[in-house]
């Protein structure tokens, strides 16, 4: 029993911090949501303790009959008026928070960076739209954003409903086919956070995550500028094997003839920490096994297995992709 309690306690505490915790806020919106959570938890705890206290009192002490008028007044205040008042106060606080959680309710903040994120079975398509209206910069499964600057997310889906959520930065928002949902986030602490897909979207739903990296604005601009150009590694020989095997029909690699838009943009794949939307690290062996049998790694994935290719070809493609910084 004691072990069970300890285990439960550890389980609860370990979810209070880390890369995917709404209780360890690293953004303005997440901070407000965490406040609301603590307020509700404390108010709820207080009410619970009061009710339990009264219950214990009632069972332990001998009761003397009380006047009916006092009894009905007690029921009116304790059973209806005070609970309603508390619920209204909590509702009022939550409603008061809402304008701040809606995109660009605050004047003058609408002209920053916009990041378009599209949910796909089972990965994330990412496009950075520069503030000056330049050509979007394409990526996948990783989102970088500057600390201290408000970023607008344009959330879309092409297949089923997904849900975009970076618990450390803010609340979740559904991605609905045929709609563009807007979410505005302001990261306040640099760091690497994790985002899950928060709406069941098919077989590999649980394998659909992404990394959100909040960076200092100058480092972010530098990072984005590098991503706006083809990777120097793109012209190395592995390219021809990649193109010859039809990978370019589904994948884009800037600076080559590969212009496909079905799967993730691979132009700078090796600068991302993971492949397959968070399932494997970006190392040689993982890239090789992903190319050979994505279905073993992600059931239901839209990428066909390529295990009929010679090992040598797969290895050369993998090392070429590893060079796409
Ligand atoms: Cu999903």
Query: What's the CA-to-centroid distance between 315 and ligand 1, angstroms?
Result: 30
Query: What's the CA-to-centroid distance between 276 and ligand 1, angstroms?
Result: 13
Phi-psi region of 106 (alpha: psi -120 to 50; beta: other; left: phi over 0): beta
- Decide the pairing of beta strands 191-196 and 114-120: unpaired
Q: What is the pLDDT of residue 317?
A: 95
- For residue 148, which of 192, 112, 181 has the smallest C-alpha distance? 112
Query: What's the CA-to-centroid distance between 275 and ligand 1, angstroms?
Result: 16
- Decide the pairing of beta strands 142-146 and 209-215: parallel
Q: What is the pLDDT of residue 109?
A: 56
- Single pTM value for the model: 0.88
In order along its 325 residues, the chain shows pLDDT tens digits of: 666 666 665 555 555 677 888 888 989 999 998 988 998 899 889 889 998 998 999 898 877 888 899 989 989 998 899 989 988 998 898 888 877 666 554 545 556 789 999 999 999 999 999 877 788 999 999 999 999 998 989 999 999 999 999 999 998 999 999 999 988 899 999 999 999 999 999 999 999 999 999 999 999 999 999 999 999 999 998 999 999 999 999 999 999 999 999 999 999 999 999 999 999 999 999 999 999 999 999 999 999 999 999 999 999 999 999 999 8
Query: What's the CA-to-centroid distance between 124 and ligand 1, angstroms?
Result: 8
289 exposed, middle or buried (CB, 10 Å; 0-12, 13-18, 19+)? middle
Determine the distance from the C-alpha atom of residue 204 to the mean position of all C-alpha atoms in its chain, rounded to a whole number. Answer: 16
Query: What's the CA-to-centroid distance between 59 and ligand 1, angstroms?
Result: 51
Give dist(CA 295, CA 235) in Å, integer. Answer: 29
Query: What's the CA-to-centroid distance between 198 and ligand 1, angstroms?
Result: 7
Element (H, E) at 28: helix 28-60
Query: What's the CA-to-centroid distance between 201 and ligand 1, angstroms?
Result: 5
Query: What's the CA-to-centroid distance between 292 and ligand 1, angstroms?
Result: 23
Q: What is the pLDDT of residue 93?
A: 87
Query: What's the CA-to-centroid distance between 298 and ligand 1, angstroms?
Result: 13
Q: Dump strand ranges (E) for the chain.
A: 114-120, 123-129, 137-140, 142-146, 150-157, 162-164, 173-175, 181-186, 191-196, 209-215, 274-275, 280-281
Query: What's the CA-to-centroid distance between 231 and ligand 1, angstroms?
Result: 29
């Amino acid at each position: 029993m004691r072990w069970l309690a300890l285990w439960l306690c550890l389980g609860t505490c370990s979810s209070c911090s880390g890369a995917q915790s709404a209780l360890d806020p690293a953004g303005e919106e997440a901070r407000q949501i965490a406040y609301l959570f603590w307020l509700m938890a404390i108010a709820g705890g207080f009410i619970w303790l009061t009710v339990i206290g009264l219950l214990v009192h009632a069972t332990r002490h001998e009761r003397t009959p009380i006047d009916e008028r006092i009894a009905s007044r007690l029921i009116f205040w304790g059973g209806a008026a005070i609970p309603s008042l508390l619920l209204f106060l909590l509702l009022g606080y939550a409603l008061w928070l809402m304008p701040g959680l809606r995109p660009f309710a605050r004047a003058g903040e609408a002209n920053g960076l916009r990041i378009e994120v599209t949910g796909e079975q089972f990965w994330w398509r990412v496009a950075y739209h520069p503030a000056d209206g330049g050509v979007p910069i394409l990526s996948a499964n990783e989102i970088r954003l500057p600390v201290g600057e408000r970023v607008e997310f344009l959330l879309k889906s092409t297949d089923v409903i997904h849900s975009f959520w970076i618990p450390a930065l803010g609340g979740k928002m559904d991605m609905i086919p045929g709609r563009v949902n807007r979410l505005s986030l302001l990261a306040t602490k640099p760091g690497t956070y994790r985002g899950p897909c928060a709406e069941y979207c098919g077989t590999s739903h649980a394998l659909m995550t992404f990394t959100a990296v909040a960076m200092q604005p100058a480092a972010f601009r530098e990072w984005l500028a590098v991503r706006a150009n083809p990777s120097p590694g793109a012209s190395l020989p592995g390219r021809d094997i990649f193109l010859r095997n039809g990978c370019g029909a589904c994948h884009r690699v800037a600076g080559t003839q590969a212009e496909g838009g079905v799967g993730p943009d691979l132009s700078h794949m090796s600068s991302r920490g993971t492949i397959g939307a968070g399932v494997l690290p970006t190392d040689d062996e993982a890239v090789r096994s992903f190319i050979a049998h994505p279905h073993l790694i992600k059931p239901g994935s839209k990428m066909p297995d390529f295990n009929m290719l010679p090992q040598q070809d797969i290895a050369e493609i993998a090392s070429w992709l590893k060079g796409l910084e």
